[in-house]
Structure 1
């Protein structure tokens, strides 16, 4: 069976033919780790494998679908460090989706490098442009190639049995053999080409979808245009322009040209629609910027990262500009940079007084200039933790202005003293510095000299921003003592750097009343997660009101040396805008983060609900009825089935998952809830649940809905299989597919859940 990629699109391409012949290239991990590897594109056109010698088994491999992009030349720190040894035209970097490390390669010649650069880029483009049917066909082809052990292009029944185990199917042998015989049209005792496709279709027959189809089809064989309109209106709750929508969907997903011309939808077209983005649980309208972007900055949740430069833990981990690139590509709009004096007279970035590696501040700014606005046009906030001497602070300011140019905001947008913060729309394409500033913004605008605050005030501010909790270890005590000595030695802030701070001047937090009396809208405070939790617990409504006119940044406390994350939901519940997490650490916390910011076009700004934008609001997370809701929203979820669930990584050979589905509501305390299905024995391929669950939600505007699939284990903790998280306000009603993500946040096609969603809006009357 030939790969879809190879048969449909790869023929007559010289680059790909040469890639299939293979080439020796240097794989590079550091200045001192440069080893020859033999790379080759496999016949499926989808897999690159490499090994240490031209003979023998492949050492490692990756799929083209795992590749995000290919960077040409010295575009990684490792390759930049080798710039004098190897010419740029021979170097390139393969960048993968998610948190997987990049692959730095050096080809033997510029011609060979171009062959692989252009070839890989073409393959990535083909994968990105595949429609739903091509993706499924490619997936079938991948499984065939994996199971065809003797590579003769055919599969006997023994190979089919092995394939079923690989695909998470524990099927009765007699039933499997009947399907095998049905597909073996040639009666050769083997399956090849279209016979295997027949076998796969029999294996993946969706009886639950056929049943829905037949409910709306008069003859059980097709949906007329009117029948499909009925389905869209009654089940999918599509109300506007349904006739036009139905015709568009038929034209988009019906595989038969004859049926398409007659505006008829077959069962194949119906299934294609349900599995497509149009049939997804996520509202496609929310994939673009749809919210009002002209509100003050403080009226938005802002995607924010902590220790952005770190790739691993904050004691011994690697610092890299790659951390900034990855965060920016995910739509992050607030980045953190810890600046220290460098030994060569230029500032460096790292987690001070630890064993993390160091990178030049100049490289961070250069990276910011290049990648800041690729994923979003809206402003980037650079949160500076400043530990530098006056001299190197001046250099920081010079590098920021010299490299960023007009992108760096150095004065108010209209030259006037702001009475409120400007909007994301007004600040498009701008980079804003957050940090300490001497004196007031009014002084700069009036041309008056800056007032240098007393040393005591600066120390108070630094202590607030670097607050740590719990007993100190010996290492922490030494580190904190170093910081105290450093504070005493530092007398002031560089005027040149201070003048670059406009709308995000850092000020120490005393109380909400103190902030209201003494602070300006362009000033802001930072809080450790524990300080924020205490304020939420003690004065939740005051915190909501504070965040209606001033920005707040929350960051993990200092004891999270493994770069773990806290749950951000409690901070969003009181309107905190910059809830900073360690983007390098996968887990449930980052799932929630990605879920919240998946809406509004992934632009990194999400408008807060109206009841959180009023400085006199009565809203408190502990009292959701304070916003006037007399009844909750009712969410009913029927978990119908699962499709092609992945195996648990590093599981025993031949093991098959026992999947269960857990639904979680994350929101205000009164809305937070969890329910789960029973587990299904030995079936990750097409498990059927058919179970319904009901949730009541008082504040849907703040709620996130998370689906988690786990492999049940009665003897130990369940293993993670996949998840998907989205805002409740972005959920579409009706029969919907949920396309699962890995623990790393990347797609795992074609793994999905099939559900039915019913949302009953709260009535205005009391029961």
Structure 2
């Protein structure tokens, strides 16, 4: 490259680097309304925050602190640029920052719980490695239910964690338990549930029980042999680890049951598949049960023999966990919707991906949530759009991993019918003003720093079928700081279950449009007013600088 062309590149780069976002007309007009003589003092800012941003608890002192913290002089007020920069700052979040604010004293069955599927896998379901690293990452993100498939290691008389019947390389149970203990409460003090998919003989069940009790120690919740009549609350189980699995049967009896199930169904859950690994034991004599293992089980799992009606039977004397595949749930929802809701008011329902999702993809979680399922088990290895919905749901309630179910799912006097279409409850108006930060994050977003992109925004609702919608903005060409100034309107029948999806893409005429950021927000926790919305990458990790300036307004249907 010649010196002359090098100078041209530097000038070209500097020209676009100097481009900065300008306050949109709405922001300028609001500044005029709440300022005097070109300055917004503490009284004016306080009035704006209360009247327009709906921040009712804000005081004049809070407004003065914002002014004092501004990098723009003069210190006795904000000029329009400083006001704009405050609105576009990280402190002006679109989500209510209330921490844990749901009632955490209800039974566990009253909450949606952040749940992982095959939590030990590093990639696909067939031949990826098993490791404690994805378990650690899940716990750091706030996941509260970790699934471990435990199998005999016949060579060392030990217990392995792996996806049975596949080529996945195992990891030891001890390593997984040690990491769970270390990272269980990094993101949240509320309980962690370990769901064990157990393929062990009674002697190895006893060994696993000793491993669990010795590794987890005092943080392990051990209820004893009695089954709960009602689940305890997340509050009473803070900093505790809970075991959930099927109560152990005699090994040969369990093996016979597995063979019968395998003969009758082709698409089985990971926790119900009988694999060839069990065959070396099938001729062994009847072995004794492991009582120490049974005493560890706080949440008893199992699928009763019989049809769907028997599976969804509610026992007033005990509670339990039922597992259904995504396909089983869809089929059950067609004929037993209200029964599923009634079942989940007291009992746990875990929904897991169908067996053909070998790429570790996920399913739409909405049908499960609409029927009250607490444990919607997801593969956390990838970055599909459904996983982003899961992340969005559990941004609620201080990201503690537990979200209280809406009251309509808990009403025992009138069982909610998921099939009934409901009237509009609220209208959400969303204005997308502008975006910035891609230039400074181009190492992460993979855009050419010398070629300004052509950005557009997709805004929509993930929720019940009546609320589901996706809209698209115009394309703004050749700009690192695109300005759209477009409003979108969403009519919501169930805002309690609605998630606002926001995606930015770069238009590409010849190839697939490039991804440029996304976020997903629980509608129930979105703050009114003009907000700075930080964008994430495909996996849900926050970019350093990329964000949108947006306005949110809730109105009642006419």
Asked if these proteins are the same fold (TM beyond 0.5), I'd say yes
Evaluate the alpha carbon distance shift between residue 411 and residue 388 of structure 1 in structure 2; reply closer, same or farther with a 3 A threshold: same
Residue 373 of structure 1 and its aligned partner are, at CA, apart by 1.4
Aligned counterparts of 2:484 and 2:23: Cα–Cα separation in 1: 14
Question: Is 1:435 the counterpart of 2:245 in the alignment?
Answer: yes
Q: Deviations over 1:53-78 (max 9, x none)?
A: xxxxxxxxxxxxxxxxxxxxxxxxxx
Aligned counterparts of 1:653 and 1:631: Cα–Cα separation in 2: 45
Question: Is 1:254 the counterpart of 2:50 in the alignment?
Answer: no
Determine which structure has more spread, i.e. the larger CA radius of gyration: 1
Aligned counterparts of 2:202 and 2:361: Cα–Cα separation in 1: 33
Q: Give the corresponding residue for 1:612.
A: 409
Aligned counterparts of 2:370 and 2:452: Cα–Cα separation in 1: 40
Q: Give the corresponding residue for 2:507.
A: 712
Of 124, 138, 141, which aligns to 1:327?
A: 138
Greater Cα shift, 700-709 or 417-426? 417-426
Q: Give the corresponding residue for 2:200.
A: 388
Of 142, 158, 182, which aligns to 1:370?
A: 182
Residue 217 of structure 1 and its aligned partner are, at CA, apart by 4.9
Of 193, 213, 226, which aligns to 1:401?
A: 213
Residue 340 of structure 1 and its aligned partner are, at CA, apart by 0.8
Of 265, 274, 292, which aligns to 2:78?
A: 265
Kept in 1, the 8 Å contact 2:460–2:468? The answer is: yes
Residue 614 of structure 1 and its aligned partner are, at CA, apart by 2.5
Aligned counterparts of 1:519 and 1:559: Cα–Cα separation in 2: 36
Q: Give the corresponding residue for 1:598.
A: 395
Q: Deviations over 1:458-493 (max 9, x none)?
A: 7269949x96539xxxxx9xx966268479568675
Higher relative contact order (CA 8 A, sep 6+): 2
Evaluate the alpha carbon distance shift between residue 219 and residue 517 of structure 1 in structure 2; reply closer, same or farther with a 3 A threshold: closer
Evaluate the alpha carbon distance shift between residue 638 and residue 362 of structure 1 in structure 2; reply closer, same or farther with a 3 A threshold: same
Kept in 2, the 8 Å contact 1:254–1:266? The answer is: no
Kept in 1, the 8 Å contact 2:88–2:532? The answer is: yes
Q: Give the corresponding residue for 1:686.
A: 481
Q: Give the corresponding residue for 1:299.
A: 110
Q: Give the corresponding residue for 2:472.
A: 676
What's the secondary structure of 1:222's corresponding residue?
Answer: coil
Evaluate the alpha carbon distance shift between residue 417 and residue 468 of structure 1 in structure 2; reply closer, same or farther with a 3 A threshold: closer
Evaluate the alpha carbon distance shift between residue 258 and residue 694 of structure 1 in structure 2; reply closer, same or farther with a 3 A threshold: closer
Q: Give the corresponding residue for 1:161.
A: 12
Aligned counterparts of 2:63 and 2:161: Cα–Cα separation in 1: 55
Evaluate the alpha carbon distance shift between residue 460 and residue 355 of structure 1 in structure 2; reply closer, same or farther with a 3 A threshold: closer
Residue 715 of structure 1 and its aligned partner are, at CA, apart by 3.8
Alignment of 1:583-594 (within 5 A): 583-594=380-391
What's the secondary structure of 1:410's corresponding residue?
Answer: coil
Question: Is 1:643 the counterpart of 2:442 in the alignment?
Answer: no
What's the secondary structure of 2:345's corresponding residue?
Answer: coil
Residue 400 of structure 1 and its aligned partner are, at CA, apart by 0.4
Aligned counterparts of 1:761 and 1:489: Cα–Cα separation in 2: 68
Kept in 2, the 8 Å contact 1:437–1:499? The answer is: no
Aligned counterparts of 2:335 and 2:27: Cα–Cα separation in 1: 54
Residue 420 of structure 1 and its aligned partner are, at CA, apart by 1.2
Of 24, 42, 57, which aligns to 1:225?
A: 42
Aligned counterparts of 2:412 and 2:45: Cα–Cα separation in 1: 48
Aligned counterparts of 1:584 and 1:229: Cα–Cα separation in 2: 45
Question: Which protein has the bigger helix share?
Answer: 1
What's the secondary structure of 2:371's corresponding residue?
Answer: coil
Kept in 1, the 8 Å contact 2:321–2:347? The answer is: yes
Kept in 1, the 8 Å contact 2:352–2:376? The answer is: yes
Of 1, 10, 33, which aligns to 1:216?
A: 33
Q: Give the corresponding residue for 1:126.
A: none
Evaluate the alpha carbon distance shift between residue 657 and residue 469 of structure 1 in structure 2; reply closer, same or farther with a 3 A threshold: farther
Kept in 1, the 8 Å contact 2:164–2:275? The answer is: no
Evaluate the alpha carbon distance shift between residue 644 and residue 650 of structure 1 in structure 2; reply closer, same or farther with a 3 A threshold: closer
Kept in 1, the 8 Å contact 2:436–2:547? The answer is: yes
Q: Give the corresponding residue for 1:422.
A: 232
Aligned counterparts of 1:486 and 1:244: Cα–Cα separation in 2: 74
How many pairs align? 544
Question: Is 1:284 the counterpart of 2:77 in the alignment?
Answer: no
Aligned counterparts of 1:537 and 1:212: Cα–Cα separation in 2: 52
Kept in 2, the 8 Å contact 1:735–1:757? The answer is: yes
Question: Is 1:496 the counterpart of 2:292 in the alignment?
Answer: yes
Aligned counterparts of 1:597 and 1:361: Cα–Cα separation in 2: 28
Q: Give the corresponding residue for 1:337.
A: 148
Question: Is 1:239 the counterpart of 2:37 in the alignment?
Answer: no
Aligned counterparts of 1:672 and 1:381: Cα–Cα separation in 2: 32
User: Where does the alignment leave 5 or more consecutive residues of structure 1 unmatched?
Assistant: 1-148, 168-199, 440-451, 471-475
Q: Give the corresponding residue for 2:419.
A: 622
What's the secondary structure of 2:239's corresponding residue?
Answer: coil
User: Where does the alignment leave 5 or more consecutive residues of structure 2 unmatched?
Assistant: none
Residue 454 of structure 1 and its aligned partner are, at CA, apart by 8.9
Q: Deviations over 1:216-267 (max 9, x none)?
A: 254563102232223223321222344343234334x3225761xx4x2233
Q: Deviations over 1:319-371 (max 9, x none)?
A: 11111111111111110101111121110111122221111111111111211
Q: Deviations over 1:164-210 (max 9, x none)?
A: 56x6xxxxxxxxxxxxxxxxxxxxxxxxxxxxxxxx3x644435476
What's the secondary structure of 1:428's corresponding residue?
Answer: coil
Q: Deviations over 1:5-47 (max 9, x none)?
A: xxxxxxxxxxxxxxxxxxxxxxxxxxxxxxxxxxxxxxxxxxx
What's the secondary structure of 1:759's corresponding residue?
Answer: strand
